[in-house]
Amino acid sequence: MQTDSFDAIYEELFPVLYRFVRMRVPQSDVEDVTAEVLTKVWRALPNFEGKSSLKSWTLRIAYHHIADFYRTRKGKGMQIVSLSEEIKSTAATEDHSNDLLTVLSVSDTLSKLSEPQVAVIQLRLVEGFSAIEVAQILGITQQAVDSLLYRAKKSFRKYYEMENAGGVR
């Protein structure tokens, strides 16, 4: 692993790391936090033992770094960042109103879930990590990941259906 160039590591890790960070920190801090995590990963790379994949090891570092990020902000706990503002600020040249409404609805529903629930949905269902890898990233057991994913899906479904049935927002 030490023979890999920074560029190769960056190309492999940046997309998944950026998505992970973007869901957890304010947009104005995403690039800085992502760069800080990549720097930490690069410096810690000689200590990487290969017990997990490089991506899951990197996201574990990111998870802890983001917790530290919020700890230094004096009492502001980790938060799920809504995609609504980012999407609303993007100028669309075509009519993607149905897609936009779906994304906004999903984003709003995710914001109602706990951070661990969002993390397990993102890592298992969006990024495609195995339950074992998610357990390593989040520092919990595989059984806890499975249970958390079950509860997250159930909560997501409940909130999403309430929202789309005209329920209370």
pLDDT one-digit tens code per residue, 86-130: 445 444 445 556 666 667 777 788 889 998 999 999 999 988 999
Decide: 63 and 40 in contact? Cβ < 8 Å.
no
Reading the block at residue 3, the tokens are 């023979």
Owner of token pair 């879930």: 113
Domain final residue, candidates 36, 54, 79: 79
Domain around 116: 83-169
Ranking 5-14, 68-77, 151-160 by mean pLDDT, the lowest is 68-77
Into how many domains does the chain fold?
Answer: 2
Following DSSP, what letter does each residue of 46-102 receive, concatenated? Answer: GG--SSS-HHHHHHHHHHHHHHHHHHTTSS----PPPSHHHHHTSPPSS--HHHHHH
Q: Provide the percentage of residues in the chain whose pLDDT is more than 90.
A: 54
Q: Are residues 123 and 88 in the same domain?
A: yes
Q: Are residues 94 and 40 in the same domain?
A: no
CATH classification of the domain holding 74:
1.10.1740.10
pLDDT of res. 97: 60
The reported pTM is 0.68
Decide: 6 and 42 in contact? Cβ < 8 Å.
yes
Q: Are residues 51 and 110 in the same domain?
A: no
Q: Are residues 4 and 48 in the same domain?
A: yes
Domain final residue, candidates 79, 102, 124: 79
Q: Are residues 68 and 145 in the same domain?
A: no
Q: Are residues 97 and 26 in the same domain?
A: no
